[in-house]
Amino acid sequence: MAQYGSTELRQDLITCSALLVFKGILDYSGHLSARIPGTEYLLIQPRDFSRTGLRPEDLVVVDFQGNLIEGEVPPPAEVAIHTGVYRHRDDVNFVCHGHPTLSTSFSMTDQPLLPMRHFAYKHGATGPKVHPDFTHIYTNEQGDAVAATLGDSDAILLRSHGTVVVAPTVQRLFMDCLDLEENAATLLNARQAGGNLRPLTEEDVAALAESYGKTSHRPNKVWQHYIGLGKAAGVL
């Protein structure tokens, strides 16, 4: 029987994993983790298990140095991404590392992932930073470097590799993962449409931060919508 992490937390992680596969943020690879409250441990998918068929008891527990605490199989090879973030960001309770095609593409060009959709204000007028290490993130030192690039932001791109998205709640994490990829799709569509781009300015970002600060319902609204879609599609 699992010793660490509540049943609810484990189920949230499994539900979010399945929905992120459904939306193309995760595939056979990529991983999602959750901080276990009151500990320096995290829950994460096993390295070789499908992200779509997990059970609560399949999740493994790892400490913030990357040591396996609970489970019979190893964690993902790049668990250092997660441990690095948790060591440096007390406000983060969930971390996702995926390989979504469109947003990752902007890590391989000198054109930044500019904020086009209004919800992209959260990454500022210049978009998310690009972490320069294009190799796999295996060591604690590499995890610390990822956390340094992330700083106090909610997402970064890993050069030629993927994305790292962090959040205080599972609903916010899921929404932000979708928003990042949707903004990338919008930017690419806008470039194909021709004419001058009109991304959000610093003034726009400030105004939207104030506007979004007046409501907090969107993460749960998005979460519930996709739970419904996932059930209808047989994903959940």
pLDDT in tens, 65-99: 999 999 989 999 999 999 999 999 999 999 999 99
Structure confidence at residue 2 (pLDDT): 64
Query: Residue 121 has what pLDDT?
Result: 96
Share of the chain above pLDDT 90, in %: 89
pLDDT value for 222: 97
Distance CA 116, CA 178 (A): 14
The pLDDT, as a whole number, for residue 8 is 95
Asked if residue 1 belongs to a domain, the reply is no
- Rounded Cα distance between 197 and 210, Å, is 24
Query: Does residue 200 register a pLDDT over 60?
Result: yes
Residue 108 lies in a domain: yes
Q: Is the pLDDT of residue 215 over 80?
A: no
Q: Answer whether residue 109 is part of any domain.
A: yes
- DSSP letter (8 states) at residue 119: G
In a domain, 32, yes or no: yes
Residue 136 lies in a domain: yes
What is the band of 183 on the pLDDT scale with cuts at 50, 70, 90?
very high
The total of other beta-carbon atoms located within 10 Å of residue 78's CB is 23
Average pLDDT score over residue span 112-121: 96
Q: Which candidate, 101, 138, 114, 118, places its Cα nearest to that of 26?
A: 101
User: Is position 2 within any domain?
Assistant: no
Which range among 51-55, 138-142, 183-187, 190-194 shows the weakest confidence by mean pLDDT?
Answer: 51-55
- CATH of residue 128: 3.40.225.10
Question: Confidence band (pLDDT; 50, 70, 90) for 134?
Answer: very high
Question: What domain count does the chain have?
Answer: 1
* In-domain check, residue 181: yes
Instruction: Read off the pTM.
Output: 0.96
Query: With bands split at pLDDT 50, 70 and 90, how would you rate the model's confidence at 17?
Result: very high
- Specify if 226 maps to a domain: yes
Residue range of the domain that includes 110? 7-232
Q: Smallest Cα–Cα separation from 25: which of 228, 154, 151, 181?
A: 181
